[in-house]
A and B are shown apart, each in its own frame.
Chain A
Amino acid sequence: MHSEKQKHAFEPRIIAFVCTWCTYAGADLAGTSRMQYPSNVRLLKFPCTGRIDPVFILKAFQQGADGVLVSGCHPGDCHYIAGNFHARRRFAAFRKLLEFIGVDLDRLQFSWVSAAEGGKWVEMVTELTERVRAMGPMREFRELALEEQWSGALDAPELKEAYNSI
């Protein structure tokens, strides 16, 4: 149980966007059951997955998250009747967009964890942490932020090339 903790060269940063009724409560249950999981995850509580704007996921990556987790109530169990259905649709489309701009979708996980599934929460966080750890740090967005801001000029060679290719 109390085995010597392995030291890793890279500790990924995982941000979890969760709904308060199911997954947040599930994570609470993991706590009250004293289950153990990697400390890499930071939770942000929302009333419902329906509230989660995809922009937050981009923002999280930009702020240095190496992995993002979005989790709410199982389909049909939404406290707000249908919020998770809207979230599901929104994220299905959003994943395509992320894929298009070149984000490895293995860094982003959507799932359903109910208030009774403390064990599933632990498994999922552990798995995602290990997976992202193996993938290494997510640099693309951070490097973008470091690059000089786009001047607004429309005659930049990259833009010209892009226009011409359309």
Chain B
Amino acid sequence: MSRIGVFVCHCGENISRTVDVERVALQAGKLPGVAFATDYKYMCSDPGQNLLKRAIAEQRLSHVVVAACSPRMHERTFRKAVESAGLNPFLCEMANIREHCSWVHEDKEEATVKAIEIVGMMVERVKKNRVLPNITVPVTTRSLVIGGGIAGIQAALDIADAGHEVVLVEREPSIGGHMAQLSETFPTLDCSQCIMTPKMVDVANHPRITLHTYSEIEQMDGYIGNFQVTVRKKARSVDEAKCTGCGICMTKCPQKKIPNAFDCNLGMRPAIYVPFPQAVPNTPVIDRENCTRFKTGKCGVCQKVCGPGAVDYEQEDRLIVEPVGAIVVATGFKLYTIEEKPKGSPIKGYGEFGHGKIPDVIDGMTFERLASASGPTGGKILRPSDGREPKQIVFIQCIGSRAREKGISYCSKVCCMYTAKHTMLYHHKVHDGQAYVFFMDARTPGKGYDEFWRRSIEEEEAVYIRGMVSRLYQKGDKIVVMGSDIAVGVQVEIEADMVVLATAVQPQVGADTLAQKLGISYDKYHFYSEAHAKLRPVECATAGIYLAGACQGPKDIPDTVSQASAAAAKVMTLFARDKLEREPIVATVKEAGCVGCFYCKKVCPYGAVEEKEIRDRQGNLVKVVAYVNPGVCGGCGTCQATCPSKSVELDGYTDEQIVAMIEAL
């Protein structure tokens, strides 16, 4: 006979406001099998947990139901508490009467009845719970970092410095990401290249970092501590081992008219190229789409001029399988481009600002390249259309961001600060020029940020106009910007030479496809979701996968670096032990009933089902049955629902448990 303890939490007032918790406890106490029921203000607090532990000892409880918040929040907390009181943690279940009851209903009577029923369901379920021993699995103390921007670089360096091997995968030919493109950084106006390139070199020289550039994730198998990640190393057409990085191939390449994406298409590059001079690795790659050799078969100059014979036109994509124990995802962001409206995208586009139609309307990243000393103009701010210096420049903020009607409701967080920086860079380079900024709100929380923004107005003479732009059109070689100054209540019209749009930060292209390969979740904008917004901000809900940087949400460099180091610390915590306890939610086969149809094997997404021979004492084969490898099983339970003879069972979600819950209703 079970002696179940039911503990009903008030959650301060969060539950007790709409649910009569005392009545829930009283009703629960009357349920068959319940030996003890009580309520308490904060079950998860220290006294709350002690109350639970004491009750287990004093009342000799056999099972526990905690009626409180979502199990996604505190199941682990209470299972730990139960374990420390000497019960198996899997004999404890949570009844979710907060997220699924008190917070979503207003009527106290209705909510209380529902809470009582939810508790009743869980009581019936817990009766059927079985003691489950934890499963220990070995941990591969090697990690994978996806994305070689500042987030990925920081995470990789931190983990490698702690003594663990790291595999860093980058999609582009060089690591560096967006930070390598920036001219200077707020709020200190440090030269971005000067603080970035040493870190890139550190990665290249680190004895424990394996770098795969021009590579993408093809597939992921396994689970925390034991992932098998297949990396597709795209054909670079240049042998990395032989190339010395002399660059003669690039100077001799006859095809030099390809827009350089690194310079936001302002400059040109050859078909065999490194994205920028400080690239790591400094090994060129042949852009096969634009290379004459690959298009017509009629060139071959680079191969002829290459001293060490590194150019290899026959090179093919290679697939490399990397065994790792943890994964840090740091795929970063892209800027919202107005002229391209991706098919099926809910984002409605901003045709009205002329981006993509008027050449001197550019985005923030293009301005960075213009202002950068290593950029296409050598750091001179010049109009893309005619190369003249703009004397009147207009910056427009919140392009895409905070526009619910356009499909993006979030704040991109970095634009206020980088626009303030742009006005400064402009004023430093064009002394007789005037910068105007149209803004909704200036959002400058951060150390030294507000002071920086004020400096752009008070010392660098930028004129900030609160209000949005209503119309923008070309008139001769000027761009007329019409808007309203809502602080003064007048219409403003500026004849500008150049317009810079602070476009929204969006997740990197392909963020959703990667998430599907890794089995991690993402929000409607395709930013990756953290396990808990406040308490687990760098972990994915999928164990063993961590997040760093703008792939999780818009972030500036200091926040990105902090999160990357935090993710690295999480990886190190995981690697601190060579064995890992995993939840025993795995499938087991009841061999007596198994008829060996192996439907389970067909549906298992993990390949965890094996064939097992059963022999009698003489060694004669009796039958072949299914066997689930508990180390590989992911615990989805698809096999159980598929099994025609109901001979495979997912621990923790058995038919008995589910049916008990349904029957309780």
Q: Name A residues whose Cβ lies closer than 8 Å to a Cβ of B.
A: 2, 5, 13, 15, 20-22, 24-25, 27-28, 30-32, 34-37, 39, 42-48, 50-54, 56, 59-60, 63-65, 76-83, 86-87, 90, 114-117, 122
Given contacts A24-B72, A27-B100, A47-B637, A116 and B524 within 8 Å (CB-CB): yes
Known pairs A37-B104, A42-B121, A80-B605; A48 contacts B638 (CB<8 A): yes
Ranked 4 nearest A-B pairs via Cβ: A51-B637, A31-B99, A50-B638, A80-B636
Known contacts A64-B665, A77-B516; is-contact A114 B99 (Cβ 8 Å)? no
Bound state CA distance, A22 and B515, in angstroms? 14
A36 touches B641 (CB 8 A): no
**Residue contact A81 to B640, C-beta cutoff 8 Å:** no
The complex places the Cα of A80 from the Cα of B110 at a distance, in Å, of 36
Bound-complex Cα distance A46 to B405 (A): 36
Contact B529 A28 (CB under 8 A): no
A48 & B637 in contact (Cβ 8 Å cutoff): yes
Whether the Cβ atoms of B523 and A48 lie closer than 8 Å is no
Minimum CB distance partner of A79 in chain B: B519
Q: Which of B104, B605, B637 has the most CB atoms of chain A within a 10 A radius of its CB?
A: B104
Do B603 and A32 have beta carbons less than 8 Å apart? no
Q: A44-B661, A81-B519 are in contact. Are A2 and B118 (CB under 8 A)?
A: no
Q: Which residue of A lies closest to B641 (CB)?
A: A53
B473 at the interface (CB under 8 A from A): no
Once bound together, how far apart are the Cα atoms of A31 and B541, in whole Å?
A: 18
Contacts of A35 in B (CB 8 A): 104
Q: Are B71 and A56 in contact (CB under 8 A)?
A: no
B104 close to A53 (CB less than 8 A) = no
Q: Is the CB of A39 within 8 A of B110?
A: yes
Within 8 A of A (CB), among B532-555: 541-542
> In the complex, which residues 99-131 of chain B have their Cβ closer than 8 Å to any Cβ of chain A?
99-101, 103-107, 110-111, 113-114, 117-118, 121
Q: Cβ of A50: which chain B residues have Cβ within 8 Å of it? A: 603, 636-638, 641
Q: Are B650 and A44 in contact (CB under 8 A)?
A: no
* CB neighbours of A78 from chain B (8 A): 519, 605
Cα distance, A30 to B516, chains bound together (Å): 24
At the interface, yes or no: B606 with Cβ under 8 Å from chain A? yes
Among A54, A64, A114, A117, residue most surrounded by chain B Cβ atoms (within 10 Å)? A114
B485 beta carbon closer than 8 Å to chain A: no
Whether the Cβ atoms of A115 and B529 lie closer than 8 Å is: yes
Assembly CA distance A86 to B640 (angstroms): 12
Contact A43 B96 (CB under 8 A): yes
Do A51 and B638 touch (CB < 8 A)?
A: yes
CA distance A74 to B99 in the complex (A): 22
Cα–Cα, bound, A63→B103 (Å): 27
Q: Given that A27-B100, A35-B104, A51-B653 are known contacts, is A42 also in contact with B641, CB under 8 Å in the complex?
A: no
Asked if B70 is an interface residue, CB under 8 A from chain A, the answer is yes
- Check if B328 is an interface residue, CB within 8 A of chain A: no
Identify 10 residue pairs between A and B in the complex whose beta-carbon atoms are under 8 Å apart, listed by A's number: A31-B103, A32-B99, A39-B101, A42-B121, A50-B636, A59-B659, A78-B519, A80-B634, A83-B637, A86-B641
* Neighbouring B residues of A13 by C-beta, 8 Å: 665
Contact B605 A28 (CB under 8 A): no
Given contacts A24-B72, A28-B72, A47-B585, list 16 more A-B pairs with CB under 8 A. A21-B521, A28-B100, A39-B104, A44-B662, A48-B636, A50-B636, A52-B641, A53-B655, A59-B662, A80-B606, A81-B606, A82-B638, A83-B605, A86-B641, A86-B642, A115-B529
* A162 CA to B7 CA, complexed, in Å: 54
Chain A residues with CB under 8 A of B585: 47
CB–CB B111/A39 < 8 A: yes
Beyond A21-B541, A42-B117, whether A80 also contacts B638 by CB under 8 A is: yes
* Shortest distance between the CB of B105 and any CB in chain A (Å): 5
User: Given A50-B637, A80-B605, does the pair A34, B104 have CB atoms closer than 8 Å?
Assistant: yes
A97 CB, nearest partner CB in chain B, Å: 15
A16 to B25, CA, bound (A): 25
A129–B170 CA distance with the chains assembled, in angstroms:
49
Q: Is the pair B638, A83 in contact by a Cβ cutoff of 8 Å?
A: yes
A122 contacts across to B, CB distance below 8 A: 104
Q: Is the CB of A28 within 8 A of B70?
A: yes
Q: Which residues of B contact A63 (CB under 8 A)?
A: 662-663, 665
If A42-B121, A51-B653 touch, whether A56 touches B658 (CB-CB below 8 Å) is yes
Is A30 a contact partner of B104 (Cβ separation < 8 A)? yes
The residues of B that contact A56 with a CB separation of less than 8 Å are 658-659, 662
User: When the two chains form the complex, which single residue of B103, B521, B641 contacts A51, counting CB atoms closer than 8 Å?
Assistant: B641
- Our pick among A28, A51, A114 for the contact of B636 (Cβ within 8 Å) is A51
B376 within 8 A of A: no
Give Cα A79 to B516, complex, Å. 8
Point out which of A44, A45, A79, A90 has the most chain B C-beta atoms below 10 A from its C-beta: A45
> 1/0 contact trace for B367-378 toward A, CB 8 Å?
000000000000
Q: Does B33 contact A (CB under 8 A)?
A: no
Q: Which A-chain residue is minimally distant from B125 (CB atoms)? A: A44
A81 nearest in chain B by CB position: B605
CB distance from A143 to the nearest CB of B (A): 18
A53 near B640 (CB under 8 angstroms)? Answer: yes
Interface 0/1 of B160-189, CB less than 8 Å to A: 000000000000000000000000000000
